[in-house]
Amino acid sequence: EPEVTQTPSHQVTQMGQEVILRCVPISNHLYFYWYRQILGQKVEFLVSFYNNEISEKSEIFDDQFSVERPDGSNFTLKIRSTKLEDSAMYFCATRDSNSPLHFGNGTRLTVT
């Protein structure tokens, strides 16, 4: 069965550093999302992306965050200057027009 693939599985970074989280969507999917889950808390929506532009973003997704599809296959989330409170699991999710969201196994981001 096709999968959403995320790399790296674990990223440790120092406060103030930039990180890029990568996702390879399922091949025929056109809608892309980033969610995050702080330890012990709900899965929270960050941003949705369709047709090479952001279609919706949450209040969490401030100017420190950006997304892009640099080469037509990868989908990336960049955090420009990480803060301690950015420590979380970050999940990429994708779907086509008629399917539910399929999630990757996440990147655990630890900011020290």
Partner 1 sequence: EDQVTQSPEALRLQEGESSSLNCSYTVSGLRGLFWYRQDPGKGPEFLFTLYSAGEEKEKERLKATLTKKESFLHITAPKPEDSATYLCAVRGSTLGRLYFGRGTQLTVWP
The CB-of-52 to partner 1 minimum distance in angstroms stands at 16
Between 17 and 99, name the residue whose CB sits nearer to partner 1: 99
Cβ atoms of 101 and 39 within 8 Å: the answer is no
* Residue 33 binds to partner 1 (criterion: CB under 8 A): yes
Cβ atoms of 102 and 94 within 8 Å: the answer is yes
Tokens of 49: 């992306």
Q: What are the residues whose beta carbons fall under 8 Å from the beta carbon of 108, sequence distance 6 or more?
A: 9, 10, 11, 89
Between 14 and 97, name the residue whose CB sits nearer to partner 1: 97
Between 15 and 30, name the residue whose CB sits nearer to partner 1: 30
Between 14 and 40, name the residue whose CB sits nearer to partner 1: 40
Which residues 62-101 are close enough to bind partner 1 by CB under 8 A?
A: 91, 93, 95, 100-101
Cα–Cα dist 61/49, whole Å: 13
* Residue 104 binds to partner 1 (criterion: CB under 8 A): yes
Give the C-alpha distances (Å, rounded to integers) separating 70 from 39, 46, 52, 53, 75.
30, 19, 10, 12, 7
What residues make contact with partner 1 under the rule CB under 8 A?
Answer: 4, 31, 33, 35, 41-45, 48, 50, 55-56, 58, 91, 93, 95, 100-106, 108
